[in-house]
Structure 1
Amino acid sequence: MTKLSVNINKIATLRNARGGNVPNVVEAANNIERFGAQGITVHPRPDERHIRYQDVRDLAPIVSTEFNIEGNPVDDFISLVLENKPTQVTLVPDDENVLTSNAGWDTLKHRDYLREIISEFKKHNIRTSIFVDPIKEMIEGAAQTGTDRIELYTEDYATGFAKGNKEKAVKPYADCAKLAQELGLGINAGHDLSLQNIRFFKESVPGLQEVSIGHALIAEALYEGLATVIQEYLSLLK
């Protein structure tokens, strides 16, 4: 079964919009795990516009499933990860003012940089994943960094699926997943995956170990509730 890690950034966004501590991100994480999700993902950014660095510190001791911290490996982020030692760190090349993640790493250009950072995380037994576009050269470059996994950036798939071109849209991902497995890399995926498009992606992409879903899942939960939506995802990911 492909594991479901729920990104709780949007819960923090809602809290920050009003101030105070409602909704409580720690309570939300506890409930999400109780409802059956196999992981919690957070993506703190330098401006802390959703998940704050203190949220990461609060979550680290209470998350009982897999804890995944995503972000651009600037010095403060690296220190935060090493302080809290999650199950997994996912390296994302976000520009400082980007609204949401919008590209994967150029793993050829940044190979040595990534290799150095990944080496440091692995010294502390933290599994590493690199956010990449579904381009074979980027998969090959990732394999040279020492990373444990890649996370396939799935916005193009979601866009193609919505336009009715699901077979064409998923093919680069299936091809890259096969190559990644041949190179000894684990496979994660995320960005714009939803209840509508997740099943076909899961069925088409071999070796998919984990998906990280936030925006769509939280939006869907506004209508159906977190418990129901999480169970729907788990059913589709079997």
Structure 2
Amino acid sequence: MSTALSVNLNKIALLRNSREGDFPSVLTHGKICLDAGADGLTVHPRPDQRHIRPQDVYQLAELVANHTGIEFNIEGNPFAQALGDYPGLLTLVEETRPHQCTLVPDADNQLTSDHGFDLTTSRDQLQPIIARLHQLGVRISLFMDPDPEQIRLAAALGVERIELYTGPYAQCFSVDNEQAEQQLARYRTAADIAQQCGLEINAGHDLNLKNLPTFLTIPNIAEVSIGHALTVDALNLGLANAVAAYRNICQHKTAAGIHLM
């Protein structure tokens, strides 16, 4: 089973936002990713619009709609309030109807997502949101730590997928082999439990060309969402080549011929 590669465009938007105008264009680079073989595009709009802006979401939704077999994934905090011309995550989803909405428990002031949901405290708040998204015909994924009990609670909420937060695995991969093996075992167990509960499995956060092949020895990972590392690799390889390198790994091929700085 191959794994779908969804390219997160946040860092392209972050670079664009450092100057006036639309350079680099998020839409243009989304097209490059699709032409290079990406299976989907991911955005994570936040209320402060530090990277992805609402207009990006609308434009990318239209782009994906014109490509057969390509998926659009919108990530974000479902509890974040509207701010300025940021209408809120659920409004963006309602207006663009992505294939998937990944709900993430990140506060407005977080640098990046760094933990999964604690469903012992948030499931009651999530239930009406999940029901609304299902009414829109949107597949739901919950951003989760590799915690068996939390994963069982996710399944009980009726979502279709979870996205395993892979930060802890990535952090120790090149530093401590024993710890990395222990972390990988945790994710393997979590994936097994998720499948037993009828959940499909996505994964993301700090996955890169070095640690992704080992992570994908875990069977039946449906999708990985990769942005930061892929954008960094694009500085060396070019964006199309970077997408192709990650896609090769997702199809369980090698990244032969790829040389990192």
**Does TM, normalized by the shorter one, top 0.5?**
yes
- Give the Å deviation of 1:163: 1.4
1:94 corresponds to 2:106? yes
Aligned mates of 1:237, 1:73 — CA distance in 2? 29
Q: Where does 1:44-59 land on structure 2 (aligned, <5 Å)?
A: 44-59=45-60
Aligned mates of 1:41, 1:70 — CA distance in 2? 7
TM-score by length of 2: 0.89
The equivalent residue for 2:214 is: 200
Matched to 1:80, the amino acid is L
- Give the Å deviation of 1:59: 1.2
The equivalent residue for 1:29 is: 30
Match of 1:175 among 177, 189, 195: 189
Aligned mates of 1:140, 1:172 — CA distance in 2? 15
Aligned mates of 2:229, 2:42 — CA distance in 1? 14
Aligned length: 237
Aligned mates of 1:84, 1:230 — CA distance in 2? 25
TM-score by length of 1: 0.97
Aligned mates of 1:25, 1:234 — CA distance in 2? 20
1:7 corresponds to 2:8? yes
The equivalent residue for 1:104 is: 116
* Contact 1:42–1:51 (Cα < 8 Å) also in 2: yes
1:211 corresponds to 2:224? yes
Aligned mates of 1:57, 1:131 — CA distance in 2? 23
Aligned mates of 1:119, 1:148 — CA distance in 2? 12
Aligned mates of 1:97, 1:86 — CA distance in 2? 25
The equivalent residue for 1:231 is: 244
Is the deviation greater in 147-156 or in 157-166? 157-166
The equivalent residue for 2:75 is: 70
Matched to 2:227, the amino acid is G
- Give the Å deviation of 1:98: 0.5
Structure 2, gaps ≥5 residues long: 82-87, 252-261
The equivalent residue for 2:176 is: 164
* Contact 1:149–1:187 (Cα < 8 Å) also in 2: yes
Aligned mates of 2:131, 2:174 — CA distance in 1? 39
- Give the Å deviation of 1:206: 2.1
Structure 1, gaps ≥5 residues long: none
- Give the Å deviation of 1:231: 1.2
Aligned mates of 1:225, 1:54 — CA distance in 2? 26
- Give the Å deviation of 1:164: 3.2
Is the deviation greater in 101-110 or in 158-167? 158-167
Aligned mates of 1:6, 1:208 — CA distance in 2? 16
Aligned mates of 2:172, 2:184 — CA distance in 1? 8
Aligned mates of 2:78, 2:20 — CA distance in 1? 28
- Give the Å deviation of 1:66: 0.4
List structure 1 runs of 4+ shifted beyond 3 angstroms: none
Matched to 2:163, the amino acid is E
Aligned mates of 1:8, 1:138 — CA distance in 2? 29
CA deviation string 1:185-215 (max 9, x = no partner): 0100000000010000001x22100000000
Q: Where does 1:121-200 land on structure 2 (aligned, <5 Å)?
A: 121-165=133-177, 166-200=180-214
Aligned mates of 2:128, 2:140 — CA distance in 1? 12
